[in-house]
């Protein structure tokens, strides 16, 4: 099969290769991939921000396709099912985090497109218990970005503790942010977007944001909650400063540049909360996919053929992607 693997020298060194079609092991499904979203985390994997320790891997964890074979311990009836493979690949199932419903924090968890090969390929395998059934109402290219960008954004929205009808600030407006904004607005939030990208500001206003300003601008009102999607630590102080008292700021990225020094009185006093977002649980994924179908959440998609996966990563790194880049596999 055609596939792409990390080259060890950054995302521009991603290599196109021929690999054998993988065989599903016990508990696994083999999926013929039809679409795979391109996530910023793929850049972090290819660039070594998330260490590979000398391994190479097929990136991609927003994988949509059909089951074409199953391993032992999986019902053969699943062949033909349309599914989504996402970032959370497996957890230990027995630690205190798994048992208390916080499997996103399991220290034994594994991730698609980092610990195991992902979807920049014609075929992929994944544990059946961690694969989502694809909602009927979402076509392949639409569904792919929901599988990480959408699910993580949904968890970030929960972590940001937005009160009903509250004011939400969104810093950075790429794939995850533009999906999260739609969910927040459908629930009655007033959304203010802050991003350096003029085209993204335009998209935010088209989707119904109340305002769209520059990356570190002060929003026109104080915010009840905010989410920083951009991997830019320098946005943390202005985002904290823009919070109303008792407001919450959630940092949605898996990687972020250094956060500048904070001033207690300006940035944290008056009971502000600063938190991060770490992966997601399967329940987050199932809830979000159901909600996205019901609310009609629409991803703005920039499609690329599988042969151009490296270009998609280069474009994403240069902030040249409008909405979400998705590979047609
Ligand atoms: Zn665990
Ligand atoms: Zn992702």
Rounded average pLDDT over 66-88 = 97
Mean pLDDT of the residues in the chain: 96
| Residue 319 confidence (pLDDT) | 86
Residue 266's region, left for phi above 0, alpha for psi from -120 to 50, else beta, is alpha
Q: What is the distance in A from the centroid of ligand 1 to the CA of 82? A: 27
Q: For residue 195, what are the CA distances in angstroms to 142, 148, 262?
A: 23, 21, 21
| Ligand 2 centroid, distance to 230 Cα (angstroms) | 13
Q: What tokens appear for 50 in the block?
A: 């998330």
Ligand nearest to the backbone CA of 60: 2
| Ligand showing the shortest atom-to-Cα distance for residue 99 | 1
Q: Ligand 1 centre and the CA of 91: distance in Å?
A: 5
What's the 97 CA to ligand 1 centre distance in angstroms?
6
Ligand 2 centroid distance, CA of 2 (Å)? 22
Mean pLDDT over residues 56-79, rounded?
A: 97
Q: Tell me how far the alpha carbon of residue 266 lies from the centroid of ligand 2, in angstroms.
A: 32
Would you give the DSSP letter of residue 135?
Answer: P
Token readout for 97 is 């985090």
pLDDT tens by residue, 198-249: 999 999 999 999 999 999 999 999 999 999 999 999 999 999 999 999 999 9
Nearest ligand to residue 101 Cα: 1
List the shell of residues around ion ligand 1, using CB closer than 5 Å: 91-92, 95, 98, 106
Mean pLDDT of 17-27: 98
Least distant ligand from the CA of 147: 2
pTM: 0.93
- The CA-CA-CA angle for residues 167, 163, 282, to 5°, reads 110
pLDDT band at 254 (very low <50, low <70, confident <90, very high): confident
Q: How far is the CA of 66 from the centre of ligand 1 (A)?
A: 28
């Amino acid at each position: 099969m055609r596939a792409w693997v990390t080259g060890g020298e950054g995302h521009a060194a991603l290599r196109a290769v021929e690999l054998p079609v993988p065989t599903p092991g016990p508990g696994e499904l083999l999926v013929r991939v039809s679409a795979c979203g391109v996530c910023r985390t793929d850049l972090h994997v290819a660039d070594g921000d998330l260490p590979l320790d000398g391994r190479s891997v097929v990136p991609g964890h927003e994988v949509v396709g059909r089951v074409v074979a199953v391993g032992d311990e999986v019902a053969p009836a699943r062949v033909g099912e349309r599914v989504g493979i996402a970032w959370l690949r497996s957890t230990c199932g027995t630690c205190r985090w798994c048992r208390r419903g916080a499997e996103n924090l399991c220290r034994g968890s594994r991730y698609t497109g980092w610990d195991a090969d992902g979807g920049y390929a014609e075929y992929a395998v994944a544990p059946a218990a961690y694969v989502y059934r694809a909602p009927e109402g979402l076509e392949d290219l639409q569904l792919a970005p929901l599988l990480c960008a959408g699910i993580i954004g949904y968890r970030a929205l929960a972590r940001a503790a937005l009160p009903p009808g509250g004011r939400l600030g969104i810093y950075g407006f790429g794939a995850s942010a533009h999906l999260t904004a739609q969910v927040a607005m459908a629930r009655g939030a007033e959304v203010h977007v802050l991003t350096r990208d003029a085209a993204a500001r335009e998209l935010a206003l088209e989707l119904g944001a109340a305002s769209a300003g520059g990356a570190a601008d002060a929003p026109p009102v104080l915010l009840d909650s905010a989410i920083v999607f951009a991997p830019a630590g320098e946005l943390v102080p202005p985002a904290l400063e823009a919070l109303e008292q008792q407001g919450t700021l959630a940092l949605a990225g898996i990687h972020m540049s250094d956060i500048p020094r904070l001033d207690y009185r300006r940035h944290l006093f008056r009971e502000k909360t600063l938190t991060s977002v770490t992966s997601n649980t399967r329940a987050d994924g199932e809830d979000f996919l159901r909600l996205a179908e019901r609310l009609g959440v629409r991803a703005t998609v920039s499609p690329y053929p599988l042969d151009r996966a490296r270009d998609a990563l280069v474009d994403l790194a240069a902030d040249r992607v409008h909405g979400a880049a998705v590979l047609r596999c």
